[in-house]
């Protein structure tokens, strides 16, 4: 594994999502602000996929190097125009977009010297009459030399 900056990993994640999801979503972006407020204010066009770094932690593997474990969340947001069930199961709905996210990321090394991304969990984050959001947590590891 190589000593990569996080920005390279993030760009690779965004690129893989854009390539896989294509016209299925309006927005693929990195995001660290108030996701709910931003989505509700229509700052992002829906359906949207937002990538958020959740946490990182190091585990020493040698005297001057550590594994940097990176956890990130992919938020999938749609407007449930015809109800909650349709927002999940219809063409272009949450389930179809989440399947595309899995194809783009799960067990993929994104062309980088990282461990393939593992899917940690998927779960609903929010369902209202205006917005439906599911989150998928992924993990990868890269080597940091000091």
Beta strands 48-62 and 27-30, pairing class: parallel
CA distance 127 to 101: 20
Helices (H), 22-83: 35-40
Q: State residue 32's pLDDT score.
A: 86
Q: Strand pairing partners for 124?
A: 134
What per-residue confidence (pLDDT) applies to 138?
Answer: 97
The predicted pLDDT at position 132 comes to 93
pLDDT tens-digit series, residues 119-136? 999 999 999 988 999 999
Which CATH number, 3.90.1150.10, 2.40.50.140, 3.30.2000.10, 3.40.50.20, labels domain 6-145?
A: 3.30.2000.10
pLDDT of residue 94: 95
Residue 43 pLDDT: 53
* CB-facing half-sphere around the CA of 57: CA atoms within 13 A: 5
Tokens standing for 108? 């993929």
Q: Which of 100, 123, 126, 79 is nearest to 24 (CA)?
A: 100
Give the end-to-end CA distance of the chain in Å, rounded to a whole number: 14
Q: What is the pLDDT of residue 39?
A: 84
Report the C-alpha gap between 35 and 48 in whole angstroms: 11
The segments of the chain whose pLDDT lies below 70 read: 1-3, 42-44, 61, 144-146
């Amino acid at each position: 594994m190589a000593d990569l900056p996080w920005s390279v990993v993030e760009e690779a994640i965004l690129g893989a999502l854009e390539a896989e999801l294509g016209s299925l979503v309006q927005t693929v972006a990195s995001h660290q602000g108030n996701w709910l407020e931003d989505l509700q204010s229509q700052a992002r066009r829906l359906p949207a996929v937002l990538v958020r770094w959740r946490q990182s932690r190091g585990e020493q593997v040698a005297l001057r190097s550590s594994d940097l474990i990176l956890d990130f969340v992919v938020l999938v947001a749609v407007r449930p125009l015809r109800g909650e069930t349709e927002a999940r199961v219809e063409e272009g709905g949450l389930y179809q977009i989440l399947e595309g996210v899995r194809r783009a990321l799960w067990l993929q090394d994104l062309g980088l010297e990282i461990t393939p991304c593992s899917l940690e969990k998927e779960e609903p984050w929010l369902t209202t009459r205006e917005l439906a959001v599911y989150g998928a947590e992924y993990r990868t590891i890269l080597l940091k030399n000091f």
